[in-house]
A and B are shown apart, each in its own frame.
Chain A
Amino acid sequence: MNDFLGIDWFFLATSLAKTLGIIFLVVLPMVSYTVYAERRISALIQDRLGPNRTGIPFTNIHMEGLGQPIADAVKFLLKEDLTPAHVNTFYFWLAPCLAMAPSLLTLSVIPFGSWLFGVPMVIANVNIGILFVFAIASLSVYGIVLAGWSSNSKYSFLGGVRSTSQMISYELSLGLSVIPLFLLLGKLNLVDIVDYQARNGWLLLPLWGEGLTLRRWLLLIPLLISFVVFTISIFAETNRLPFDLPEAETELVAGYHTEYSSMKFALFFLGEYAAMITGSSLIVTLFLGGWHLPIPWWSSGAGFHFALVDGAAPGIPGILGGLFNIATFFGKVAVLLAFFIWVRWTLPRFRYDQLMRLGWIFFFEIALVNIFLTAGILFYLP
């Protein structure tokens, strides 16, 4: 568009706006309020009240504790930032940064909406979408490994070692479980995957478009297996209960971040929740239709059908549609986050050998067999 010095400035400006908007206006507030939701929902499950007091300062307005995340952030920033004498300082400082960055990087290829003001609502529309996600996610181990090693403490080190082997093991089933999707779609591009689902029904809910063939219903079996394996692997990758062995309080104090305090600790904490958001966004994008929400509609011409909210339409309807699609995407992510929290406060923790056995002997094989099952269905029902 406006080529100057060989750079597309319009593209650069919109990309920058999308990046800043998505990180500072959506993801970081979402992270803090996920922590709040975690505390309130855990309280609900355990029949307590949870943080319900912090509201507007110097007034009596509580707002059900909605001010709590802000108070938490202030507290984290003002606490003494202690660096113990026995640590390896450079890596001790490097580790929290590496823990937070990968989850935010991964969001760059996830389509979080359709179109808004004629700009596609994805930061980087690349052909290798899902591979990029896996590549960056595989780098997130470094933060934890370095934290465990540089802390120079047994608890931290054991936590780091556990986390590394757990993440490496579950990356296998994570990667293998999505192959059936790509056998079906023949694409790695996340934008194309969501477009396909908008036209032909969500992969887990083929109810509209051309979704009503026998082939799609048969394919629902392997896709459902993929979904379950993928979701459970995401739980393991984000170190969430029932797979939170790296930071099992009863054995390891706090695992790899035992020696951390103040904002450095908060970065690990935020990194974990950002990883949850990234994981949920991935599940939504791959299996649950991304930004697409079918609206049941009746018109005299077409009869009863599902309408597509079009963000690319001209004028005001397009802008409203685009905003609606973005809201839909983050709404779905919020529902999945609630599911993550619900699971955490319901299931007990696995033992470490059980966790590794589950990963290597159960999910790995299931994901492999699933690939052959999908290939078979696609071969006999072309």
Chain B
Amino acid sequence: MSSLLPWLFSAIMLGFACAVVLNRNPVASALSLVVSFLALAGLYVSLNAFFIGVIQVLVYAGAIMVLFLFIIMLLDLKAEERRTLNTTATLGGLLVAAIFVCELFSVLRHFHKGSLPFPPLAAGPLDDVRGVGTMLFSNYNLPFQVIGALILVATVGVVVLSKRELK
């Protein structure tokens, strides 16, 4: 039963990921992406990674995609729906995707470390919040602080840029 769930969520995720590309209506695309993110969160949860799953929903589905949708709704959607499919561009896109998949396959075939099974987890509920926190603040403390400073600089930069009138 529980081994079925990851497959189910993967199928939903991939299906809606295709819908993101295939939909002509930007709002429909954005919402498909939300469902795809939710299915990804479900995939994490079905693999017992509750924390990552919830953060996936909180950050991507709940915050970033809401802002995306917000901006898309302010656009003129009629123009986007009238646009027809360009055959040459479609074929080109398919070709690039096919080449990428072939390359990926040929590289991964020779990467034997990737086929090792994961060591078995300890039985019982996983305290993943504590695990992630301890790891982040001990082994990866410096990169974590650097990223924090980087994001702060970016935020201040945006505030400064949006406040000053361009001359």
Which residues of chain A have a CB within 8 Å of any CB of chain B? 5-7, 91, 126-128, 131-132, 134-139, 141-142, 145-146, 149, 157, 160-161, 164-165, 168, 171, 188
Asked whether, in the complex, the Cβ of A139 is within 8 Å of the Cβ of B50, the reply is no
Query: In the complex where A128-B50, A149-B27 touch, is A168 in contact with B69 (Cβ < 8 A)?
Result: no
Interface size, chain B (Cβ < 8 Å): 24
Known: A91-B27, A131-B55. 9 other contacts (CB 8 A): A6-B2, A127-B50, A127-B128, A128-B128, A131-B58, A135-B57, A145-B66, A164-B70, A188-B129
Min distance, Cβ B58 to any Cβ of chain A, angstroms: 4
B157 at the interface (CB under 8 A from A): no
8 inter-chain pairs at a CB distance below 8 angstroms, sorted by A residue, are A5-B1, A126-B50, A127-B128, A131-B58, A136-B57, A138-B62, A138-B63, A146-B31
- Which residue on B lies nearest to A157, using beta carbons? B73
Asked whether, in the complex, the Cβ of B66 is within 8 Å of the Cβ of A168, the reply is yes
Min distance, Cβ A153 to any Cβ of chain B, angstroms: 13
- Which residue of the partner chain, among A6, A127, A136, A142, contacts B127 with CB atoms under 8 Å? A127
A229 CA to B51 CA, complexed, in Å: 25
Min distance, Cβ A351 to any Cβ of chain B, angstroms: 21
A136 CA to B57 CA, complexed, in Å: 8
B67 at the interface (CB under 8 A from A): yes
- Which residue on A lies nearest to B62, using beta carbons? A138
Consensus secondary structure, chain A interface: helix
Contact with A along B78-108 (1 / 0, CB 8 A): 0000000000000000000000000000000
B125 at the interface (CB under 8 A from A): yes
Contact with A along B19-56 (1 / 0, CB 8 A): 00000000100010010000000000000001100110
Asked whether, in the complex, the Cβ of B62 is within 8 Å of the Cβ of A131, the reply is no
Quick one: which of A6, A137, A138 has the most chain B CB within 10 A? A138
Asked whether, in the complex, the Cβ of B58 is within 8 Å of the Cβ of A134, the reply is yes
A127 CA to B31 CA, complexed, in Å: 29
B61 at the interface (CB under 8 A from A): yes
Question: Which residues of B in the span 113-131 have a Cβ within 8 Å of any Cβ on A?
Answer: 125-129
Asked whether, in the complex, the Cβ of B51 is within 8 Å of the Cβ of A131, the reply is yes
- Which residue on A lies nearest to B51, using beta carbons? A128
- Which residue of the partner chain, among A6, A132, A142, contacts B1 with CB atoms under 8 Å? A6
Residues of B within 8 A of A5 (CB): 1
Min distance, Cβ B33 to any Cβ of chain A, angstroms: 12
A192 CA to B69 CA, complexed, in Å: 37
- Which residue on B lies nearest to A132, using beta carbons? B54
- Which residue of the partner chain, among A134, A136, A145, A165, contacts B69 with CB atoms under 8 Å? A145
